[in-house]
Chains A and B, each alone.
Chain A
Amino acid sequence: MSSEKVDASSTMNSKNVSLPMSRVKLIMKSSPDVSSINQEALFLTTKATELFVQYLAQCSFKRGSGREKKTLAYCDLANAAEETDTFQFLIDILPKKILARDYLRSLEEMGEVEDD
């Protein structure tokens, strides 16, 4: 199995970041209790987010079953969130999808139990 190591130089330019720091700062400031953020902290957070995007994409893609995969799909992400410890915090925003009919069926089953 190939190493999943993420390295700084693989994102565009290791001196800078691709994601706009001003936008990252906006998100950070929306967090309660945060007063101010020093420039290095902002840089690191932006860089870490890029590394995270790479890591999430790679992990999710690798988890696809052994068959030939040419597409990264939503379900790959949802599976990765459920199965990988470090992605547990994403479980609520990457829920697994179920078919509508399965959901309706499970609702019916719950209804039956209550009637008893």
Chain B
Amino acid sequence: MAERPEDLNLPNAVITRIIKEALPDGVNVSKEARKAISQAASVFVLYATSCANNFAMKAKRKTLNAGDVMAAMEEMEFERFLQPLREALEAYKKSQKGKKEATEQRRKDKEKKTDPEENDKSREEDDEEEERMEDEQEGENEGEEEEVEN
């Protein structure tokens, strides 16, 4: 559970960067507009989550999956996002696979040197955990940097 209200906001610096890249060069964005867009983005997340969750619940699932999110976008009338999202997801899956393969390779290399047998399956799970934690840590580090600016 978030302790502070700021936790439900997205980092200002990143939001500002995205806005600036979307607009023509030389255009300024008022502080009020930036703040409003940031809040709108948080509301968007909530709305999308709630929508996606409805689809998951209909399918009697407790875990939100990619399909639920895509269905939510359509429901919210953001069909324009569907194609870019599909492409981004493919790229993401490939990069995740690449990471996993690299981890597998490292593990195999280690095994050649040390005793095999011991670690097989539990190692795989650990590696997956590590990947997820890595991703989250990367995200969190970014978040922490942004908070200092606030």
Contacts and interface: CB of A to CB of B under 8 A. Distances in A.
Contacts of B95: 15-16
Contacts of A25: 136
Interface string B22-63: 110011111011001101111111111110110001000011
A49 interface: yes
B37 A77 contact: yes
B64 A36 contact: yes
Contact of B37 (A14, A31, A56): A56
Contact of B1 (A11, A28, A30): A30
Contacts of B32: 73-74
Given A8-B84, A23-B143, A57 B69 contact: no
Contact of B36 (A6, A44, A48, A74): A74
Grouping DSSP codes into helix (H, G, I), strand (E, B) and loop, the B interface class, with mixed when no group exceeds half, is helix
A35 to B, nearest CB: 4
A57 B84 contact: no
B2 interface: yes
B65 interface: yes
Chain B interface size band reads 35 or more
Interface of B: 1-2, 7-8, 10-11, 14-15, 17-19, 21-23, 26-30, 32-33, 36-37, 39-50, 52-53, 57, 62-66, 68-70, 73, 76-78, 80-81, 84-85, 87-89, 91-96, 132, 135-136, 138-140, 142-143
Interface of A: 4-8, 10-11, 14-16, 18-28, 30-31, 33-41, 43-45, 47-58, 60-61, 69-74, 76-77, 85-86, 89-90, 93-94
